[in-house]
Structure 1
Amino acid sequence: MLTTTTSNPMQLETVLEHIFAIRRITRHDQHLLMSTLLSKEDLNEEERLQISRVFDALRRGLIKVVD
């Protein structure tokens, strides 16, 4: 049986705020982020910018990946 995650903009915003607040991304955060993004049919421009900020912060070492 497949379960789907319903996504709303607030859920994505909450996950991203948490990641930036603690400056870390855990496996759980990654799972929440990916399931939220994959459950959406299309991303708007602001959501694309937020995701780019996460990748940029990871690349620059501003966010650490932890288990």
Structure 2
Amino acid sequence: MYAKAHWHPISIESLTGQIMVSGQMTRTDRYQIRSALLTDSLSESEQILINRLLYGIRHGLLRVVD
């Protein structure tokens, strides 16, 4: 059973920057991105940033960690 993740809201721009600098996406990062996607209130630039993260993961530039 997974522990419930607690996080503070952070902008997609800041979150993307942290992920790019560290080279890895944590479970909390994934939950925050998923939450933003589910609210369906992302701007076009935020959608582009998320697509860049997905590109980085697919091409091995970023790692997904727990």
For this structure pair, what is the TM-score category when the shorter chain's length is used for normalisation? Answer: 0.7 to 0.9
Q: Is the 8 A contact 2:36 2:42 kept in 1?
A: no
Equivalent residue, structure 1, for 2:13: 13
Matched, 1:29 2:9: no
**Matches of 1:55 and 1:30 in 2, distance apart?**
11
Equivalent residue, structure 2, for 1:57: 56
CA RMSD in angstroms, aligned pairs only: 1.8
Q: Which amino acid aligns with 1:30?
A: R
TM-score w.r.t. the length of structure 1 is: 0.72
TM-score w.r.t. the length of structure 2 is: 0.72
Identity of aligned residues (%): 33
Shift of 1:51: 1.2
| Unaligned segments of structure 1, at least 5 residues | 1-6
| Unaligned segments of structure 2, at least 5 residues | 1-8
Aligned length, in residue pairs: 58
**Deviation readout 1:7-46 (Å, 9 max, x if unpaired):** 7xx711111111111010010110111112322x343321
Matched, 1:44 2:30: no
